[in-house]
Each structure stands twice: as structure tokens, then as C-alpha cells.
Amino acid sequence: MKTFLLATSALVAFAASAQAADLGVPRSPVAAAVLAPAFNWTGFYVGAHVGYATGTSSWRFTPPGTERNTRPAGVFGGVQLGYNWQINQAVLGLEADIGLGGVSNTRFCPNPAFTCGTRVDFLSTIRARAGFAMDRALLYVTGGLAIDQFRHRTSVAATGALWGSYNVTRVGLAVGAGVEYAVAQNWTVKAEYLYHTFGSSTQAAGVGALDQISATRIRSDLHTFKLGVNYLFSTGPSAVVARY
């Protein structure tokens, strides 16, 4: 019994001594935990894109009221620039782009003696964007102005000789949606669909016109599908630091 009491007393004394010694030692700081940085979409960006466009140009000759359609289609490529502003998970921005390529089509009209041809010399837009960011992924809708250059031609079918021409720059509406993803800290890739729609434009009859005896009224629209890459000049803070 004496041995047990002596051992217990020694153990209590040792614990008290250790606790007293520990009170005099400064506590080491807890290391900060560095979290993976949240991607920030705010900033200017520039980039390039390739795409495919398809659409319809409806030609109406008045009189006699004959209507034919050309269906321009083809591949194009271009550049874009813009600015994003992120507020929490909402991303607002502006973008302008321009593309060039071989978007064209030719068919017989208004009768088999002639052909009608439509070519889009360039496609451009100035648009607002509004999106929802999920870290490195951005889903967005977009809308604004479409500014496209159309070249319309009529030719003699048998010889290919030019009969008349009509070059016109059309201003209309562009609406669409897209998805963008940051593959690196400053690089993003995107896929985007846009619909370009324009009202009708009329060329009066006369020498050198599409039809020398009839006014020609043309209504055009285009669907574009684009893949692009952007360089974003700013992606916000490098890291988020939290302490536990």
C-alpha cells in the first residue's frame, strides 16, 4: 500500500511539474492554409476564333413578285476583344468581333437564264454579355448589333457574264449564347452560337442593278457557330488565405 501511494504521489508531482514548464513556453503559430485560388473573370481580353456560318438571303423581284432564296454557307475566322466585370458569380461585359471567310452561295434565279449569288465579305458584332461563373466555367447569353457586308450578284447563266451587282453593309441584331472555360490562369476557350438577323434592303431597277427591269428586295439572316480562344489580362488575386 505504501508503495502504491508513493508511486501515485510521484506521478502527480511529475505531471504538475510538466504543466508548469509548459506554461512558460510560447505557443507556436498555426500555419495558414492556402486554398486553391478562385478564378476571377474581371479584365480585358483579346482572342481569335474560327467558325461556320449558314443562312438565307431571300430575293424578291417586284414586279412581277418572283421570289428566290440563296443560302450562303461556309467557314470563317476572325478576332475579338472585350472586357469582363465579375460581381460575385455574375459576370457582365462587352465584346466586339469581326470575321472574314468564304460564306457564299449561287443558284438559278429569277429564271434559268440567270444566276443569283450572295457572298458575305465580313461578319462583325458589338454585343453585351451577361453570364454566371462557376469558378473556371462561364455560361453566358449575349446580344447587340450585327454589322455584315453582303455582296449580291446576278450573272448570265450561259456565259457567266456579270449582269448586275449590289454591295450593301447591313446593320441588324445579333443574339446568342455560349460557354467559356479557363484552361490556364490567363487562357480561356469558348464555344458560341449567334443569330444575325436583318430587315429587307431594296435595290432599284436600272443599268448595272441586279435586275434592270425590276426592283430587287433582299432579306438576310445568318446562324454562326464559333470556337475561340482568349487571353485574359487580369484574373484577380493569386490566392485566398484562410486560418484555422
Q: The pTM is what?
A: 0.80
Flag whether 61 is in a domain. Answer: yes
Under 8 Å between Cβ of 226 and 49: yes
In sequence order, the 6+-apart residues with CB closer than 8 A to the CB of 115 are 106, 107, 108, 109, 154, 155, 157
**Residue pointed to by grid coordinates 431597277:** 205
Residue type, 192: E
CA distance 136 to 129: 17
Report the distance separating Cα 61 and Cα 168, nearest Å. 17
> Taking a C-beta distance cutoff of 8 angstroms, is the pair 223, 21 a contact?
no
Residue 163 near residue 155 (C-beta atoms within 8 A): yes
Residue 232 included in any domain: yes
Q: How many domains are there within the chain?
A: 1
Residue 144 lies in a domain: yes
Per-residue pLDDT at 11 exceeds 70 = no
Does some domain include residue 2? no
Instruction: Indicate if the pLDDT at residue 243 is higher than 50.
Output: no
In a domain, residue 203? The reply is: yes
> Which grid coordinates belong to 120?
458575305
Which helix (H) or strand (E) is 14 found in, with range? helix 2-23
pLDDT higher at 17 or 67: 67
Domain holding 152, by residue range, is: 39-236
- Looking at per-residue pLDDT, the higher value among 221 and 212 belongs to 221
Domain harbouring 166, CATH code = 2.40.160.20
